[in-house]
Structure 1
Amino acid sequence: MNHKPTAEELKALRSDFGLRLSKAMEENGPLCIGIDPHRALLDEWGYNIDADGAEMFSMRMLQAAATHTAAVKFQMAMFERYGSKGFAALERVLYAARQLGMITIVDGLQGGLSTTVSALTDAYFTPGAPLLCDAVTLMPYYGARSLGGIIDDALNNGRGVFIASLTSNSEGESLQTAIRQSGEFKGHTVAYGIAHTAQKYNRDVPGLGSVGLIVGATIGQWLHDSGFSPSSFTGPILSPGYGYQGADAKDLTSVFRGTQGNVLVTVSREIAQHGPDIAKLRAATIAVAEDVKNALEKAESEQNQQKIVKKGARYASPSIMARTM
């Protein structure tokens, strides 16, 4: 018989992914290695451009990432292109990552009606699922509430999700900063509504929540227009865009100023271009991990310093004191 969890057990399960990710980030830093077996990379590495090549590429990236990264993210489309053989390869590399004790994210950006996305539970979250992983990425443009069922299924199985909110692609700006004309978040941007819907799942969770957002590192120039501040979010933030896509340490510091250790920066090509030599891949991983860690620590310390300065001014300024008497 299947054991039905008690209320306390269910509460613990719903915060499990956030706790595990937080621990991994404390131990190994805020880097997530993106495992994206592009055709060009397979060719550069001297591998066949097929499912076997994608699997060999992924296994080598896993070896380089071990102990230097908080999580690994697999780009599903890079495996899906090879049909059933590609999905079989993804199953095997996910299994290998789990054996190495890594937190695994499958990046499929799936979404749709609640009746459609409910099938994802059997694929990714339930015990014995063929593509068992710790989290998936979701696209909310059927309405963020359409994802409620799959989010609850993920949480009830001790897993998590990352919902696209402020993505790195420049074309997304017009959609994500569009002002909603009706509903709960009328007058706010689409991105704002997505973020606040996600935050509801994290509200009563001590520490890091299990429902995350995707916020690109290259969106600094239009972050203000979104009406959303990453520093106010208490779930994990998955951030693509660093390195090969154009963002640097200054962008990380700017976009994520005030965040409190909940940003997971995903990097792929910037590291993979050094392969297939394991030593070079590992050296690149360590170097990128250090840069990312320093940038995010600077973002946090700068915000704290600003708070100290403002607090000091509030209590030390004679003019302010005079106006309050």
Structure 2
Amino acid sequence: MTAAEAQTIVQRSEFGKRLKASMDMYGPLCVGIDPHRKLLAKWGYNVDAQGAELFAMRMLQAAQGRAAAVKFQMPMFERYGSKGFAALERALFAARQMGVITIVDCLRGGLPTTVSALADAYLKPGAPMLADAITLLPYYGFRSLTNLVGEALENGRGVFVASVTSNTEGISLQSAIRQRGDFPGQTVAYGVAHAAQNFNEGVEGMGSVGLIIGATIGQWMKTSGVDPSVFTGPILSPGYGWQGAEAKDLKTVFKGTKGNVLVTVSRSISSKGPEIADLSAATEAIALDVRQALYEAMEEGDKEQAVEPEAPHPGIDPALTAAHLADGNPPQVHIKPLPKVTIPAASHQMPQNPQASYSQQATQQQSQSRQSSATTVKSTRYVPSTARVATTPRANDTLGNNNDRFKINGRSAKL
């Protein structure tokens, strides 16, 4: 898609501005909510949709106020069928009430008539699984996503399109040379990145059409043909932590970027669970490490540009960089103030009696062996309220017994 074609789509989306405001406030960390079966078992949860829902609610508590966004791994809910979809729907609703930006990692793609249904599922007001953004695969051709991207923007949402993924086998496809169509002679990944950037041209601040660029691909950056430093939309970067990427990899891959990289981390945080205090501490520590690494990546890019002053890097604030270099303070001292951004109220309507969890309607698992080996934890469920939710467990609160109790605005309530 050309820049002119992209500009014909009205960009009403505030997603990029809202995400940037959240990143400026909390740092460039996205907490991945990936309810792996082994993790559910380790936490003492049922390996089913109920366990996935409890896992998601607990991860949301750890992320709130400590990370810029959360990302739900769709297939790990989908594996449980309709109950898994219901669990994801409730978790997304809870995140909206908590004021947390949400990304659904569904990685879908297809013909235009097929993928347009994704807008009804995730992006339009009243969507059953309303999210702030979703992830997409462009391998039917980026043009196949054009209508869906347009619907996302018109409804104030965003998308992340896979360009250079964190799995090593992906580079064989993504570095292939395009023989025809748009960008002949360039790599597949380059074409994806260029097409996405076309939607962000002329947008003030960070755009709403993002890329997925893995933190593990430093050795293939030149092969991919993609330069993250010139991209003005958000970049979602998996691979840090459990998949092997470290701070040095972030600095290599994202050298010269402009504060638009959102690093997603899942198991390095969730492996510390299930206690909220441990999850929160892990989130805070990783958020600090990621912030430091990306600051140094920005600074390295700025130093390289200083060697060639005739071609200054677009988007770098020279005054900000000079201040950093002059006083030597760590980057967290120089957090930009949160911009004034109008966040539209959620228009999503939950089904009738949304407080009734499917787990209350199912047969409770109360075998003697389960009760004797149950782990006492502080469990959580969503409450459709704008109030922050504080967990106050009942006496002998055990997993699988549906004894979740909460305090909302000072009053106790049981779901």
What TM-score, normalized by structure 1, do the two folds share? 0.91
**Aligned residue in 1 for 2:15:** 17
Shift of 1:49: 0.2
Shift of 1:245: 0.4
CA contact (8 A) 1:162 1:214 kept: yes
Three-state SS of the structure 1 residue aligned to 2:308 is helix
> AA paired with 2:55?
F
Q: Which of 62, 71, 76 in structure 2 is aligned with 1:73?
A: 71
Three-state SS of the structure 2 residue aligned to 1:73 is strand
Query: How many residues are matched?
Result: 303
Deviations 1:89-130 (A, max 9, x none): 000000000011011000010000000000011101111110
Shift of 1:206: 0.9
**Aligned residue in 2 for 1:126:** 124
Distance (whole Å) between structure 1 residues aligned to residue 240 and residue 177 of structure 2: 28
**Aligned residue in 2 for 1:59:** 57
Deviations 1:62-106 (A, max 9, x none): 001110100000000000000000000000000000011011000
> AA paired with 1:251?
D
Distance (whole Å) between structure 2 residues aligned to residue 13 and residue 85 of structure 1: 35
Shift of 1:13: 5.7
Q: Which of 77, 84, 87 in structure 2 is aligned with 1:86?
A: 84
Distance (whole Å) between structure 2 residues aligned to residue 146 and residue 12 of structure 1: 18
Distance (whole Å) between structure 1 residues aligned to residue 108 and residue 97 of structure 2: 26
Q: Which of 90, 95, 98 in structure 1 is aligned with 2:96?
A: 98
> AA paired with 1:26?
D
**Aligned residue in 2 for 1:197:** 195
Q: Counterparts in 2 of 1:110-259, with a 5 A limit?
A: 110-259=108-257
Shift of 1:303: 1.1
> AA paired with 2:120?
D
Q: Are the structure 2 counterparts of residues 243 and 12 from structure 1 closer, same or farther at C-alpha, using a change threshold of 3 Å?
A: same
Q: Are the structure 2 counterparts of residues 186 and 11 from structure 1 closer, same or farther at C-alpha, using a change threshold of 3 Å?
A: closer
* Structure in which a larger fraction of residues adopt helix: 1
**Aligned residue in 1 for 2:323:** none
Three-state SS of the structure 2 residue aligned to 1:127 is coil
Distance (whole Å) between structure 2 residues aligned to residue 11 and residue 289 of structure 1: 35
> AA paired with 1:214?
I
| Overall identity of the aligned pairs, in % | 66
Three-state SS of the structure 2 residue aligned to 1:173 is helix
Three-state SS of the structure 2 residue aligned to 1:118 is helix
Distance (whole Å) between structure 2 residues aligned to residue 270 and residue 143 of structure 1: 34
**Aligned residue in 1 for 2:403:** none
CA contact (8 A) 1:213 1:238 kept: yes
> AA paired with 2:229?
S
CA contact (8 A) 1:14 1:210 kept: no
CA contact (8 A) 1:79 1:86 kept: yes
CA contact (8 A) 1:80 1:86 kept: yes
Q: Counterparts in 2 of 1:267-282, with a 5 A limit?
A: 267-282=265-280
CA contact (8 A) 1:13 1:157 kept: no
Distance (whole Å) between structure 2 residues aligned to residue 268 and residue 124 of structure 1: 22
TM-align CA RMSD: 1.3
Unpaired runs of at least 5, structure 2: 1-7, 311-415
CA contact (8 A) 2:207 2:232 kept: yes
What TM-score, normalized by structure 2, do the two folds share? 0.72
**Aligned residue in 1 for 2:47:** 49
Unpaired runs of at least 5, structure 1: 1-9, 313-325
Three-state SS of the structure 2 residue aligned to 1:112 is coil
> AA paired with 1:242?
Y
Distance (whole Å) between structure 2 residues aligned to residue 310 and residue 257 of structure 1: 16
Distance (whole Å) between structure 1 residues aligned to residue 9 and residue 109 of structure 2: 25
Distance (whole Å) between structure 1 residues aligned to residue 218 and residue 189 of structure 2: 14
CA contact (8 A) 2:10 2:150 kept: no
